[in-house]
Amino acid sequence: MKKVFWVTLFLFAASCVACTHTGGTSKPTAYSFTIDIPAGWRKIDRPYLLVTKDSPFLQNIMVQNRFIGKSFRYTKKKMQREMLPEEAAQIIIDEYASDQNIGNLKVLNNTPAEINGHDGFKILLTYMGPKGNEFHTLYYGFIKADTFFNLRFTAGGRQYFQKDIETFKRMLNSFQIIKANKS
Amino acid sequence: MIIRLSKFFFFLPGLLLLALSTGCSTPSEPVVSDMLLTNGDEQLLWQKAEEEQRVQESSDLIYQDEKLEAYLNNVAAKLQPQTAPAGLSIRVKVIRNAYLNAFAYPNGMIYIHTGLLARMDNEAQLAAVLAHEITHCTRRHALRAFRHFKDRRSFLTGVQQALMADIGFTGPLAAVSGYARELEAEADRVGTELMTRAGYNPQDALSLFDHMISAIEQEGSEEPFFFGSRARVRERIDNLQNRPDDRYPHQRPAIKNSDLFLAKLGHLFLDNARLDIRLGRFQAARRGVEKFLRIEPDNTRAHFLLGESYRQQGQDSDIQKALKYYNRAIILDPNFAAPHKALGLIHYKKGQRALAKKFFESCLQLSPNASDNAYIKGYLRQFTSSEEG
């Protein structure tokens, strides 16, 4: 139980997490996208869309639209609107690689990807959290105007990753931008 | 490999962070010549230190360079006091981390970050940091801090602070953020004595600390580590400057070993520059590479990294500089694929398709199995389809 507590803290920092059960299509007006949340997954109240089936430290899917000028936590590099997908991917890899809480980071895959008709990237990472737990993250991202969209699936270990990867792909396929930022 | 950390992983850093709080009294001074491991709490500290070291060493954080490690340990051996507690063995290892830090475990294990080493210019500066850390071990500062704070009710607060301290894998048990001011001052005072006795001039460390303050100011943000804090580095400078009794005797030439130091660090400058580029600290990366170029002016990777630092900085004026360094790298080693790709990207973004195509194709030829080749193939497919269209 303590392990769950610490890993959850690692994933989401120490703050209040309120959970509500949801399903169907999420169309929050604050987001410039819509996406289908699979039945049985619950939404966690965060500034970005975060859903989980069992527990966030076992598996979670995060979808975020962030201003390209917003700073990352570790790297000082910033997204730029004219960046190529592979340049954006490199920043994400650099951010993970510079995270003091992550060890043994491995980039298993880094390729171009199309997300809802937008040219982007796909990265598959494995790494170790500070409690020694292994994580797998599949990270999709693309830049549209002033917005960096990213969709990522993180699972604690290979077993949970394999179990829910198809769910994530279905969710990814349902992703649609409903409002582009000013260009 | 799964590494499990004990809950103590979060325990002592909290205590040590609490030690930073103002108004704490000076921890009682143990007798330095006491045999180690005679007390339960010191035994516990050593056990936990060893547990954490196992974690460090089974991760990919340890910088592997046996010759460098031997050199660092040789310098540390020259600094060891004659009155060190029996059974204490000082050892030095390097951690692959661009942040400015060095820290010591109570059992004598000292870790120094590549980022701190890359900021140094000579052996005297290295000696200053090692002498400071050695003193933390020989004066048993961890034990003194532990005994001073272990009964405080603020334990839980300490744990929370440790969690929020963002120190991650890098030396949680050791004093990553520093001890109480009195203990740090003692480490400075005894450290300068050790340096002087070993033939180094403590004043030579001043330029390192000045560089570090400039670097912290230049980067615009402080790091979560002892040597990454402007206030803490300023304390080191004040302690060095305010000890006229420790002036190095002018009649004795002081050891600096600048050339030897640069040669021994060698590729560490480049490896750390790559970490600095990842962090977006492009100026720091260039300073490290330029030091390396003093040893090997025609090193391909060094020129490539300079190119990377300018290209990734992303300003129009930097691109010309990047082109110069990439071209130099290709002249030095035409078979090194990375600068071909970088040049391809620059020309691609400028809409210079013929040049981009040429460099992308040469990159694929030189490195047909690179993990990110799918991007290059995609660019080339675009060229083909637009030609066909």
Alpha-carbon gap: A158 to the closest alpha carbon of chain B (Å)? 13
Cβ contacts of B5 on chain A, cutoff 8 Å? 130-132
C-beta of residue B184 within 8 angstroms of C-beta of residue B191: no
What was the pLDDT predicted at A137? 97
A68 is a domain residue: yes
Nearest Cβ partner of A112 from B164, B281, B378? B378
Nearest CA in chain A to B312: A77
CB-based contact B280 A109, cutoff 8 Å:
no
Show the DSSP H helices in B139-281 as ranges: 141-149, 155-164, 181-198, 205-219, 230-241, 258-265, 268-278
Q: ipTM of the assembly? A: 0.81
CB-based contact B163 A9, cutoff 8 Å:
yes
Reported for B299-304, long-range contacts at CB under 8 A and 24+ positions apart, including other chains, are: B299/B270, B299/B332, B300/B329, B300/B332, B300/B333, B300/B336, B301/B270, B301/B329, B301/B336, B302/B270, B303/B328, B303/B329, B303/B332, B303/B339, B304/B329, B304/B336, B304/B338, B304/B339, B304/B342
Task: Write the single-letter amino acid at A170.
Answer: R
CB-based contact B348 A100, cutoff 8 Å:
no
Instruction: Say whether pLDDT at B281 is over 80.
Output: yes
* Range B280-388: architecture per CATH: Alpha Horseshoe (1.25)
Alpha-carbon gap: A28 to the closest alpha carbon of chain B (Å)? 31
C-beta of residue B110 within 8 angstroms of C-beta of residue B132: no
Nearest Cβ partner of A132 from B2, B219, B278? B2
pLDDT digits (tens, 9 = 90+) for A12-63: 332 222 233 333 333 333 347 889 999 999 998 787 899 999 988 899 999 9
CB-based contact A130 B280, cutoff 8 Å:
no
A13 is a domain residue: no
Supply the range of the domain harboring residue A49. 2-6+19-177
What was the pLDDT predicted at B379? 95
Nearest Cβ partner of A100 from B167, B219, B349? B167
Distance CA A156, CA A133 (A): 7
Cβ contacts of A6 on chain B, cutoff 8 Å? 7, 10
Instruction: Say whether pLDDT at B364 is over 90.
Output: yes
C-beta of residue A162 within 8 angstroms of C-beta of residue A169: no
CB-based contact B281 A76, cutoff 8 Å:
yes
Residue extents of the structural domains in chain B: 7-258, 280-388
Cβ contacts of B363 on chain A, cutoff 8 Å? none
A169 is a domain residue: yes
- Strands, DSSP E only, in B40-101? 91-95
Q: Which of B60, B111, B161, B169 to mutate to test the interface with A (most CBs of A within 10 A)?
A: B169
What was the pLDDT predicted at B378? 95
Averaged over A81-103, what is the pLDDT? 93
Q: What are the tokens at B159?
A: 């744990």
pTM of the predicted model, to two decimals? 0.83
What was the pLDDT predicted at A159? 87
CB-based contact B372 A110, cutoff 8 Å:
yes
Nearest Cβ partner of B2 from A76, A86, A134? A134
What was the pLDDT predicted at B36? 60
A12 is a domain residue: no
pLDDT digits (tens, 9 = 90+) for B41-91: 788 888 888 888 887 787 788 999 999 999 999 999 999 998 777 788 999
Name the band, by pLDDT with cuts 50, 70 and 90, for residue B311. very high
What was the pLDDT predicted at B116? 94
Nearest Cβ partner of A104 from B60, B97, B281? B60
CATH of the domain at A23: 3.40.1000.10
Q: What residues of chain A have any CB closer than 8 angstroms to a CB in chain B? A: 2, 6, 9, 13-14, 74-78, 80, 82, 84-87, 94, 97-105, 107, 109-112, 128, 130-134
Instruction: Say whether pLDDT at B37 is over 80.
Output: no
Q: Supply the mean pLDDT for chain B.
A: 81
Averaged over B299-315, what is the pLDDT? 95
pLDDT digits (tens, 9 = 90+) for B261-279: 999 999 999 999 999 999 9
CB-based contact B3 A103, cutoff 8 Å:
yes
Alpha-carbon gap: B185 to the closest alpha carbon of chain A (Å)? 28
Per the structure, how many domains does chain A have? 1
Nearest CA in chain B to A72: B279
Lowest mean pLDDT among A112-116, B123-127, B227-231, B372-376: B227-231
Nearest CA in chain B to A120: B375
Distance CA A29, CA A51 (A): 17
In the three-class reduction of DSSP (H, G, I as helix; E, B as strand; rest coil), residue A33 is classed as strand
What was the pLDDT predicted at B127? 97
What was the pLDDT predicted at B328? 98
Distance CA B13, CA B165 (A): 9
What was the pLDDT predicted at B239? 83
What was the pLDDT predicted at A107? 95
Averaged over A104-126, what is the pLDDT? 95
What was the pLDDT predicted at A121? 98
Instruction: Say whether pLDDT at B129 is over 90.
Output: yes
Averaged over B186-207, what is the pLDDT? 90
Task: Write the single-letter amino acid at B214.
Answer: S
Q: What is the length of chain A?
A: 183
Q: Taking the alpha carbons of B223, B216, B242, B91 in that order, is the dihedral positive or negative? A: positive
What was the pLDDT predicted at B245? 56
A14 is a domain residue: no
C-beta of residue B106 within 8 angstroms of C-beta of residue B137: yes
What was the pLDDT predicted at B160? 39
Nearest CA in chain B to A80: B314
Q: Give the A:B interface size as CB pairs under 8 Å.
A: 89
Q: How many CB atoms lie within 10 A of CB B230?
A: 14
In which residue are the tokens 């769950």 written? A4
C-beta of residue A6 within 8 angstroms of C-beta of residue A131: yes
A171 is a domain residue: yes
What was the pLDDT predicted at B34? 54
